[in-house]
Every structure is written in structure tokens, then in C-alpha cells.
Amino acid sequence: MEFKLTVTCDCGKRDELILKRTTNIYEGKVYEDFSSITDGKFKEDLFITQQNSPDEVVIECTSCGKEHNLTT
Ligand SMILES: [Zn+2]
């Protein structure tokens, strides 16, 4: 599965984050298969992500400075 996060700020900036997928397979068995917001990369670097607690990620618009919290 592939996960994409589209973020549109109130100021009109819009960017897409492809969540980084990590899969660990050992001897044919899948032990981990997850996608991470914080390890992902925005296509145009219009936003930055910060993990400020284990279940909370802050997305900040580099254009106007507005922040939005996401919970996992
Ligand atoms: Zn903005």
C-alpha cells in the first residue's frame, strides 16, 4: 500500500507528502510493514514536519508559519 498526504494551508500553499514505507522481511515472513509521516518527504518542501511527542506530529507551512497538529 502507498499512502499520500495532501496538505493545503489556509494561505493557499499545497503540497503532497508520500509517507515513507518501511518493510522488514526475515526468511519470507513480514515482521514490520508501516508508513511514517515524519520520515516522508514533501514534494516541493512547502511544509515541514516535526514529531513533538510519540503520537503527535506538527506540520508547519514554510510560507506563512501556520502550524497544524496531527495525531496518529
Ligand atoms: Zn500557509
20-60 pLDDT, tens digit each: 999 999 999 999 999 988 888 899 999 999 988 888 999 99
CA of 56 to the centre of ligand 1 (A): 20
Confidence label for 67 from pLDDT (cuts 50, 70 and 90): very high
Q: In this structure, which residues have their CB less than 5 angstroms from ion ligand 1?
A: 9, 11, 13, 61, 63-64, 66
What pTM value is reported for the model?
0.81
CA of 33 to the centre of ligand 1 (A): 32
Closest CA to 38 of 28, 25, 26, 52: 52
